[in-house]
Amino acid sequence: MDKDRIVKDELIGRYVTIKECTDPNWINLSGRIIDETKNTFLLKIGNQNKRIAKNIATFEFGCERKKTVVEGKRLLFRPEDRVKKAR
């Protein structure tokens, strides 16, 4: 799946890995997106729920047997608006 398509798609329920982040504690953590706001993802990582800001990280989404890396800044929309506004 290409970057433009993933940016416009529903992300809740997708498995994601944080590839780059301004906070080194987040790098290489993986989990499922269980909620999304304009600026954050709520991830289920193990038995914990953790919230990460989109603008500080680069995310890797696994889909259709391919991995797609997207900068969090490209995802800074409310989920319902991202489909319409994604560039």
pLDDT at 9 over 80: yes
- Helix/strand/coil (H/E/C) assignment for every residue in 32-82: EEEEECCCEEEEEECCEEEEEEHHHEEEEEEECCEEEEEEHHHHCCCHHHH
- Between 7 and 49, the higher pLDDT residue: 49
Q: Which band of pLDDT confidence, cut at 50, 70 and 90, is reported for residue 85?
A: low
Beta bridge partners of 40: 53
pLDDT at 83 over 90: no
pLDDT for the residue 58: 97
Give the tens place of pLDDT for each residue, 40-73. Answer: 999 999 999 999 999 999 999 987 678 999 999 9
SS3 (DSSP) at 3: helix
Delineate the domains of the chain, giving CATH numbers in brackets: 3-85 (2.30.30.210)
Residue count (the chain): 87
